[in-house]
Amino acid sequence: MKKLYILGGTGTIGHQTIEVIKNHSNHFKVIGLSLGRSKKAQHGEIIQTLKPEIVCLREKDFKLESKFPQIKFVYQDEGLVELVKYPKVGIVVNGISGSAGLIPTIEAIKSGKDIALANKETLVMAGEIVGQLVEKHAVKLYPIDSEHNAILSALRGETLKEVKSITITASGGSLRDLSREELKNVTVEEALNHPNWKMGKKITIDSATMINKGLEVIEAHHLFNLAYENIHTVIHPESIVHGFVTFVDNSVKAVLAKPNMKMPILYALSYPKHLASGIENLDLTNLALTFEPIDYQRYPLLKYSYQAGKKGGLYPVVLNAANEAAVKLFLNKKITFLQIEEIVIEELENFKTNVSKPTLNQIITLDKNIQRKVLKKYEFST
Ligand code: MG
């Protein structure tokens, strides 16, 4: 029985994690759970089903506290830290969206817990620090992101020395059939309509601009300790192949599955075992797979992501923070779709104070400052 802590229980990843666990209640027991502001009406039911020992909420809830007197309730960001420090070993599933996911990951590692990571900002912002902490505290870090999860699976039983490169696939996002010209008038609703994956809003917009793939390249660099030159990306509209590993003998291993996050979530939790995921079977007699190179003119943020990753230090923090704020502005209809790119590129080009080995404090301060600056420029307050 593995003990689990789920962060972001009402988000897309959290919700699917709970579904996965319900089907494998003999393998997993939820000890800790954090629930966000959304779907409040369901909080009681989720808690009733999972019966965790500690629950973190955004706002004080006397009704839930009196309904579940045996559960310890904690609140807000401090509560989240308390939750991941709860004195029982286990795996923390981090399904929090955005830079808010960084500190809980770090505190969970420090308290000796393994991490199943869906929050890509953790590694984009502080990949080196997180990597060092993982080593120091001898914990495991399992990626939930489908591409990295596929690479994890393909690398099982292999040694990194024999790996020449990896390739992660991109669907092309919700706007892949539109030209640059047509992107000018894209609405929030159109951008949120992803053809293959059901995901949260932030990551769906990130897929449309392709910065999602850029963030994943940086994530892969830290997870698999590969140089950026050896991390490739390719458009694969069907989203059936999630990742490829090319070995030094030029043989290639790929992992295929129907696009459904339940599979990578379960594999991150059951690794190295494969358990029945309940996702649809892949009919091999009816497969048409296509791949095309990603055009940097069409998707400039992928190019800038590689550059930011290669420059290292605080550049990935700038990339991520500018994008997070810009996506917030776009979702609130303060800017157009193409302005997301403009904002990210402008912040990267204006950034002149890089340090090669930033501290966690420098990272968090810069993230806050850039987000605040971008939001303020468009007179948006959260
Ligand atoms: Mg992904």
Identify the CATH number of the domain in which residue 62 sits: 3.40.50.720
Ligand 1 center to 35 CA (angstroms): 23
Structure confidence at residue 135 (pLDDT): 98
Q: Identify whether residues 299 and 210 lie together within a single domain.
A: yes
Tell me the CA–centroid distance for residue 52 and ligand 1, in Å.
29
Point out the domain boundary residue: 256, 286, 311: 311
- CA 69 to ligand 1 centroid distance, Å: 39
Measured in Å, residue 322 CA sits from the centre of ligand 1 at 20
Q: Is residue 112 part of a domain?
A: yes
- Residue 336 counted as domain residue: no
Check whether residue 119 and residue 207 sit in a common domain: no
Core vs surface per residue 231-246: b (16+ CB within 10 A) or e: bbbebbbbbbbbbbbb
CA 258 to chain centre: 19
Q: What's the whole-model pTM score? A: 0.96
Domain interval for residue 300: 148-311
Ligand 1 center from residue 145 Cα (angstroms) = 5
Q: Give me ligand 1 centre to Cα 160, in Å.
A: 21
Establish if 339 belongs to a structural domain. no
CB atoms within 10 A of CB 5: 28
All residues with CB under 5 Å from ion ligand 1: 145-147
Tens digit of each residue's pLDDT, the chain (382 residues):
999 999 999 999 999 999 999 999 999 999 999 999 888 889 999 999 999 999 999 999 999 999 999 999 999 999 999 999 999 999 999 999 888 999 999 999 999 999 999 999 999 999 999 999 999 999 999 999 999 999 999 999 999 999 999 999 999 988 999 999 999 999 999 999 887 877 889 999 999 999 999 999 999 999 999 999 999 999 999 999 999 999 999 999 999 999 999 999 999 999 999 999 999 999 999 999 999 999 999 999 999 999 999 999 999 999 999 999 999 999 999 999 999 999 999 999 999 999 999 999 999 999 999 999 999 999 887 7
Are residues 133 and 7 both part of a single domain? yes
Instruction: Please tell me the predicted confidence (pLDDT) of residue 137.
Output: 98
Of 311, 332, 358, the position where a domain reaches its end is 311
Residue 18 shares a structural domain with residue 100 = yes
- Note whether residue 135 is domain-resident: yes
Q: Number of structural domains, the chain?
A: 2
- 290 found inside a domain: yes
The two three-digit tokens of residue 150, written as one number: 């596929």
Q: What confidence score (pLDDT) does residue 195 get? A: 78
The answer on 132 and 50 residing in a single domain is: yes
State the pLDDT at residue 194: 80
Q: Looking at the structure, do residues 22 and 135 belong to the same domain, yes or no?
A: yes
CA of 68 to the centre of ligand 1 (A): 36
Query: Is 305 found in the same domain as 157?
Result: yes
Residue 299 sits in the same domain as residue 184: yes
Q: Which of 311, 329, 353 is where one domain is finished?
A: 311
Instruction: Look at residue 359 and tell me if it is in a domain.
Output: no
Give the integer Cα–Cα distance in Å for 249 and 240. 25
CA dist 97 and 106 (Å) reads 15
CA of 279 to the centre of ligand 1 (A): 17
Cα of 338 vs centre of ligand 1, distance in Å, is 22
pLDDT of residue 38: 82
Measure Cα distances from 354 to 78, 215, 360 in Å: 30, 19, 14
* Same domain as 233, residue 113: no
Q: Are residue 12 and residue 34 in the same domain, yes or no?
A: yes
Whether residue 207 sits in one domain with residue 127: no
**How many residues appear in the chain?**
382
Tokens 């949120």 belong to 192
Whether 353 maps to a domain, the answer reads no
List, in sequence order, every beta strand (DSSP E) within the chain. Answer: 2-7, 28-34, 54-57, 72-75, 91-94, 114-117, 141-143, 163-170, 231-235, 241-247, 252-256
CA of 216 to the centre of ligand 1 (A): 7
What's the distance, Cα to Cα, between the start and end of the chain in Å? 41
Q: Are residues 228 and 188 in the same domain?
A: yes
Task: Count Cβ neighbours within 10 Å for each residue of 206-218 and write b for 16 or more, e otherwise.
Answer: bbbbbbbbbbbbb
Give the Å distance between the CA of 243 and the centre of ligand 1: 10
Q: What is the 66 CA–ligand 1 centroid distance (Å)? A: 40
Q: How far is the CA of 218 from the centre of ligand 1 (A)?
A: 12
Q: Is residue 370 part of a domain?
A: no
